Structure 1
Amino acid sequence: MLSPSRTVIRREGGIYALERALQRRGFRNVAGADEAGRGACAGPLVAAAAILPEGKRGEIDGITDSKLLTPAARERIYAEVVERALAYAVIVVPPQEVDARGLHVCNLAAMRRALASLTVAPDYVLTDGFGVDGIGTPGLAVWKGDQVAACVAAASVLAKVTRDRIMVDLHDRFPDYGFDEHKGYITGVHTDALRKHGPCPEHRFSYVNVAAASGRGHAPPRARRPRSAAPGAPEVEALALWPDEGGTVGVATGQRAWPPPPVGEDEAMEGGTR
């Protein structure tokens, strides 16, 4: 039996080239997953996953890495992703969870949860930078995936806009830190506020700069945290990550029904036709 010919993705093919190549091979529902907030020392870690429809229906003008977009462009693209996506999911991991379980563990768990929460099962998964195992679906880690694959860029925008909105809301509760401006990342203004006021319950006490500002830098992360969060903290819908690991995250999902276009047998992957 002859193996399928090798697929070559050319840079000039643009941000949709990788997805289109996978779809021609029979992987119709290509999901992208990405996160926002890994480098922040305050606020939640947010992961998202999205499946865009095939063809022109899934093309969104100007979509790329959320960090390269203006806030206005992100909001516009966010709205279009929510409107057009076959399915999307957003997972919010609070800073307490990051401190307790570790950033990388939480990041992988959140992306797994986002992918598992999609109301349309993905045939293939693209992730930004590093692979996510344990998802039961073939996938590929793509360097700078949010600049290379539209579905990853869509997930990037979902995660970034969701997190930015959360940080603006946190500014109303903790106005001393300027969360609405720097979104919890380490800036001069944020560092000065930490020195002056110490950390608040929304800071990540497992981070060195926050631990130092707390005055309990040599204690384990859980011991550094305040005993309770500030009154009036918004509640997030709790979902178990999986029974044997525990932990909670917030999830928002969306779905858009599209009739699948026909795919000829000559475009199917080895192992069966569609």
Structure 2
Amino acid sequence: MVLECGVDETGRGSCISGIYASACILDPAHPIEGLRDSKKLSARKREILAEEIKQYALSWCIAQASLEEVEQLNVHHATLLAMKRAIEGLSIRANKVYVDGIHLPEVDIPAEAIVKGDDLIPAISAASILAKVARDGAMLEYHEKYPQYGFNSHKGYLTKAHREALKKYGPSPIHRKTYAPIRELLVGKDNEQIEMFE
């Protein structure tokens, strides 16, 4: 039996925390209906499907690249690292890996990158859902810790409300300091401090 693994990430475009990636090998004997790009599903539907995926998939793994790794490696390489960890974290070895997008992590399994794969390949859709649900859960926890930023609504992406909160409160410890808009805020803040003491 050919074991196909789907891989996807979430959090790449965010300006907080690390990158989440998931790898999933679905069981052909237990097809799961409703799989598609996680961004096109409601939060409740994603949660329901995530539980079904965890129950019926042959193997699945959710992995991360930390905030520190994003800062040190850059977002692109941290994303590939999270994907690699997810693939290597599976309890069984896949024969083929399908990754959403155009870039592939370095793995010793035949792999193919597929643009919009999260809407085309069920295993990628499943991985997309698992990663999204895991990250959204983390965002709710961050919201409890830093409620002034509204992570529960924008999930760390740079919306108008998020920009306004950043201008008012400055970056939190989980903001990516190497991310251009955050870096600009920090530079501006430093300049203000310098002016105050001149």
Instruction: Give structure 1 stretches of 5+ with no counterpart.
Output: 1-25, 219-274
Contact 2:37 2:128 in 1 (8 A): yes
Task: Name the structure 1 match of 2:73.
Answer: 101
Instruction: Choose 1 or 2 for highest CA Rg.
Output: 1
Tell me what 1:49 maps to.
23
Secondary structure of the 1:176 match is helix
Name the structure 2 match of 1:184: 156
Which residue matches 2:13?
39
Does the 8 A contact of 1:50 with 1:87 survive in 2?
A: yes
- Alpha-carbon distance in 2 for matches of 1:172, 1:46: 20
2:43 counterpart of 1:30:
no
Residue 150 of structure 1 is aligned with which of 105, 119, 122?
122
Tell me whether 1:127 sits opposite 2:99 in the alignment: yes
What SS does the corresponding residue of 1:106 show, helix, strand or coil? helix
Local SS of the residue matching 2:147: coil
Please name the residue that 1:161 is paired with: 133
Q: Using structure 2 for the length normalisation, give the TM-score.
A: 0.92
Q: Please name the residue that 1:63 is paired with.
A: 35
- 1:88 and 2:53 matched: no
Normalized per residue, the structure richer in helix is 2
Distance 1:61 1:53 in 2: 12
Displacement of 1:215 in angstroms is: 2.7
* 1:53-73 deviation per Cα after TM superposition (whole angstroms, max 9, x unaligned): 114x1x212110000000010
Q: TM-score, normalised by structure 1?
A: 0.67
| Residues 90, 158 of structure 1: 8 Å contact kept | yes
Deviation per CA, 1:172-222: give whole Å up to 9, x if none: 11111000110000101000000000000110111111111223799xxxx
- Determine whether 1:111 maps to 2:83: yes
Two-structure CA RMSD over aligned residues (Å): 1.5
Q: Percent identity?
A: 36
Stretch deviating more after TM superposition (39-48 or 190-199): 39-48
Q: Provide the rounded CA distance (Å) in 2 between the counterparts of 1:159 and 1:198.
A: 28
How many residues align structurally?
190
Moved beyond 4 Å, runs of 4+: none
